[in-house]
Structure 1
Amino acid sequence: MEKGYVHVFTGNGKGKTTAAIGLAIRAAGAGMRVFFGQFIKQGEYSEIKALKRFEDLITIEQFGLGRFTNEKPELEDIQAARKGLDRARQVMASGQYDMVILDEANVAVKFGLIQVQELLGLIINKPEPLELVITGRYASPRIIEMADMVTEFQAKKHYYERGTKARVGIEM
């Protein structure tokens, strides 16, 4: 592509990561190489298993310890996120990928795992043809302003509110 854009998927509704995965699969279907980096998350979720079926075109790396919640992060959580940020810089500069997805990067900023200025730096220094996708609730107004496209997912109703647990293949 001649010009790549910056997409932000944010909001309190379900489906941000799922939308990014759909975009990754669409890109892979067009022969594009995709880097899918997940902040905070760790584990073999169904979404990761699905993406691994496209391992010739989609590279997946996780930069979380799988334990971080809405509390103050521990040093190990911050170090894992910093590793992800450094890896994102390296991947974006490599020229090996057509699309880079930074899943839950907005959440990593919100809870101090990485700084908003660092995420803004990725946007500012994005190579022209690279498509960059940033997901996660709590997107900073500064990130939203810099993005070319922003989709806000809004929760209206969810069975989780009635006590339904996350289900394999649907929520995890």
Structure 2
Amino acid sequence: MDSRGYVHVYTGNGKGKTTAALGLVLRASGAGLSVYVGQFLKRAEYSEHAALALLPAVKIEAYGAQRRIGAPISEEDIRQARLGLEKLKEAASSGKYGLVVADELLVAVRLELFSEEDALSLLDVRHPSTELVITGRYAFPGILERADLVTEMKEIRHYFSQGVPARKGIEK
């Protein structure tokens, strides 16, 4: 395997960004890589937490307070996000993980939980052999310029617009 790690960005308004990242987590784990997943704006109540707990080489942490979509940003949201970014930087710089996923990092920037510069610092400290995946809507120019791979998920149709809520095992 090439020992150089690359930076992936999965962005866009379509469904599938986290799912694509988790597919890569599964593949990396199956290949014997250690994996760290950090999720912004989420709590450990998503089904992937239960599934990934079964994989010994995968560590997943959620950096979300009690925030709900549309609720105002709290000081606790900011504190959790900044703590999460520091944990991600430790994981990405350590050389211990073959794959690090920063799930919803781009949304955390959009909500001003930390700055674009803070987010880019994750790329600055990344160990050269660590593959880094960044997900979320609202990819900003600086992250797009520095990524090695950018995939945009485009929504064509989504049943959410018909009032279907997030379903356990499918969207959460």
Please give the range of the TM-score, normalised by the shorter of the 2 chains.
Answer: over 0.9
Q: Which runs of 4 or more aligned residues in structure 1 lie more than 3 Å from their structure 2 counterparts after TM superposition?
A: none
Structure 1: which 5+ residue stretches go unaligned?
none
Q: Which residue in the other structure is 1:20 paired with?
A: 21
What's the offset of the Cα at 1:89?
Answer: 1.4
Query: What amino acid is aligned across from residue 64 of structure 2 in structure 1?
Result: G
Q: Which residue in the other structure is 2:51 paired with?
A: 50
1:53-132 matched pairs, under 5 angstroms: 53-54=54-55, 56-70=56-70, 72-132=72-132
Q: Which residue in the other structure is 1:34 paired with?
A: 35
**Deviation sequence 1:2-60 (CA, Å, 0-9, x none):** 20000000001001001000000000000000000001100321122111111x11001
CA distance in 2, matches of 1:96, 1:47: 22
What's the offset of the Cα at 1:93?
Answer: 2.1
**Deviation sequence 1:135-162 (CA, Å, 0-9, x none):** 0111111111110000000100011111
Give the 3-state SS of the residue equivalent to 1:97 in structure 2: coil
Q: Mark the CA change 1:71 to 1:18 in structure 2 (over 3 Å): closer, same or farther.
A: same
Give the 3-state SS of the residue equivalent to 1:28 in structure 2: helix
Give the share of equivalent positions with the same residue, in percent: 48
CA distance in 1, matches of 2:143, 2:158: 27
Q: Which residue in the other structure is 2:5 paired with?
A: 4
Query: What amino acid is aligned across from residue 63 of structure 1 in structure 2?
Result: Y
CA distance in 2, matches of 1:66, 1:39: 12
Query: What amino acid is aligned across from residue 25 of structure 1 in structure 2?
Result: L
CA distance in 1, matches of 2:71, 2:109: 13
Q: Is the 8 A contact 1:10 1:137 kept in 2?
A: yes
Task: Tell which deviates more after alignment, 22-31 or 117-126.
Answer: 117-126
Give the 3-state SS of the residue equivalent to 1:53 in structure 2: coil
**Deviation sequence 1:88-131 (CA, Å, 0-9, x none):** 11112222111110000000000001111011111123211110
**C-alpha RMSD over aligned residues:** 1.2
Structure 2: which 5+ residue stretches go unaligned?
none
Number of aligned residue pairs: 171
CA distance in 1, matches of 2:8, 2:159: 28
Give the 3-state SS of the residue equivalent to 1:67 in structure 2: coil
